[in-house]
Amino acid sequence: MSHQLVLLQRRAAPTLVPARPALGESGFAEAFSDCLLTEGLIDAGAANRARRVAETAAERFDHVLIKLGLISETDLAAAYAAYCNLPLLTADDMPDRPVVAERLKLAFLKANRVLPVVCTGDRLVLAAVDPFVEDIAQAVSYMLDLSVELALLTPAVMEDWLRRLYGDVDANVEQDVERVAALVAGDAGDLDIDRLRDIANEAPVIRLVNQIIVRAAEGRASDIHIEPGRDAIAIRYRVDGFLRHEQAAPAPLRAALTTRIKIMAKLDIAERRLPQDGRIKTVVRGVEIDIRVATVPTVFGESIVMRILDRSRVELDFDKLGLDMAIKNRLAELMELPNGILLVTGPTGSGKTTTLYTALKQLNRPELKIFTVEDPVEYQLQGVNQIQVQPQIGFDFPGALRSILRQDPDIIMIGEIRDLETARIAIQASLTGHLVFSTLHTNGALAAVTRLVDLGVERFLLASTVSGVMAQRLLRKLCPHCARPHSNPQGLLDRICLAIPDHRQDAALAREAVGCEACSGTGYAGRTMACELFVIDETMREVIGRRNQDQRDMEALARQSGFRSLFEDGVAKVLAGETTFEEVLRVTRVS
């Protein structure tokens, strides 16, 4: 028997629950907030704040919760289910084909955010995003001459079901594109600033930009790329490190889209000749996300990259990041040192800042005073003093660090060592009894020494202050739904042995990518980390202090203490069935 039929039978004999105020009745906000508190979905302060706003703005209390970002849409759906004694459906309950599609058209379903799930005999289960749609249920019951039972869906699952069952549910987006093109009526680059601002504040433009952001957040994208061309605007999402083409918008929308995003990011819409950086705070599906916006002028208009910082997706835990036990233990020893410099290196987007935040979270204790200097502050950590530099007013990294040293800190995190002055202050802080964390752009852990010497730091200072360097890369993880055991484990071992001649581990657990609907056909979902940790002990300090030191000598000495390269760490994850050998080769560039 299908899950839907079980659900229908269960609803045939509803459980009696005490009557609660319905929407619009006196006491609804208090009763619903009590339900939220009982379920542990919000705290009393948030509930009181939402009630005050709802009364002032004359809006629904439950809608205010979402607008203020106090609760996610998933948690709100769970609260609806508990309050109204209705079942909450999941993706497993989706029907194979549209139900009563000849009577209930897509336009009606989209307008009312309802979806028929199963129809048997004289009864219909109607899933809804909003449980307070008795009038819609009654209308459907009258029209179909069926008894209608309500169930609940989250908005994201509702949209996904409509897309899969009915195909094109983005007609409204296409209509918005057409409306915006009609508003522009030509090249918006020729419009004056006031007219352009008016167009950017029109509902179709607002909906179009919001839809771009929502799709990116729901698709686990880390970045949105909006790239103007001669004939169209390319909109691409970076998911798990790979860019995917999402859609193309007509070229006349260039200035309207750009202006709307710049207004949201509080940038100067009149300045189109210089790069600009800004920030957007918004709520998607009840989850607050930050978006870093960077614009740069190109031949056909301003290219925009929007970095999505979703705190709900970041787990500040070394196990979740992908560190194995040996590296985690050695890193923990370095983090407990009373002073010194610990560096994390890698290219942009390799997760360096997340690693440092994870370290700070573990060290964050009442007896320690922790400062960070960042550009920008990406995630707020309670109990940590976080400072964002403002170079435009002269408050840069060196200036901020000099001020911090007068604040009696124990631990300092520097967003990035970019120049000699910042490096010197970090070294000074280390020499005066502070533990310093920072990032550096190098290809590997051992290259950090060469990079700092190139900046102008003296070797003897490096040898006496730097305690360790960790280099890292992000690897795509195999999709848990479709990955299968490797079809040729011996061939995989042969390839590994070409790069690591003395390799001994077997490939019994190795898997390979397949591709399914859950991973959009890529075979991968989510990312893990490959890393190498270079610990600088007394013997290594002597090597670093020599003027003619060679990186190969440093690596040979480091291997005696258990050093393992990025490639070797990636191979270990291949043999554990977490990723593929091809992915490790792509990221570590080992031939």
Tens digit of pLDDT at every position of the chain (591 positions): 444 445 544 444 444 344 567 666 677 888 888 888 888 888 888 888 888 888 888 888 888 888 777 788 888 888 888 888 888 888 778 787 888 877 888 878 888 888 888 888 788 888 898 888 888 888 888 888 888 888 998 887 888 788 778 765 455 556 656 666 666 655 445 556 777 777 777 777 888 888 889 888 888 888 999 999 888 889 999 988 888 888 788 887 888 888 999 999 999 988 888 999 888 888 776 677 889 999 999 998 899 999 998 766 677 888 888 888 889 999 999 999 999 999 999 988 888 989 999 999 999 999 999 999 988 787 778 889 999 888 878 888 888 898 898 899 999 999 899 899 999 999 999 999 999 999 999 989 999 999 999 999 999 999 999 999 999 999 999 998 899 999 998 888 888 888 788 777 888 889 999 988 778 788 998 899 999 999 998 889 888 887 766 778 888 888 888 899 999 999 999 999 999 999 999 988 754
Q: What's the pTM value of the predicted model, to 2 decimals?
A: 0.71
Buried b (16+ CB within 10 A) or exposed e, 285-314: bbbbbbbbbebeeeebbbbbbbbbbbeeeb
Q: What CA–CA distance (Å, rounded) separates 150 from 262?
A: 42
Task: Supply the DSSP string of 282-348, one letter for each residue.
Answer: EEETTEEEEEEEEEEEETTEEEEEEEEEEGGG----HHHHT--HHHHHHHHHHHT-SSEEEEEE-ST
Residue 113's contacts (CB-CB under 8 Å, 6 or more residues apart) are 128, 129, 130, 155, 158
- What domains can be seen in the chain, in order of their start residue? 19-84 (no CATH), 87-166 (3.30.300.160), 173-310 (3.30.450.90), 318-474+528-563 (3.40.50.300)
Distance CA 280, CA 386 (A): 19
Strand order in the sheet with 385-388: 385-388, 370-374, 411-414, 435-440, 340-345, 466-478, 524-535
DSSP states along 53-120: HHHHHT--HHHHHHHTTSS-HHHHHHHHHHHHT--B--GGG--SS-SSTTTS-HHHHHHHTEEEEEEE
Task: Give the residue carrying structure tokens 């009577």.
Answer: 103
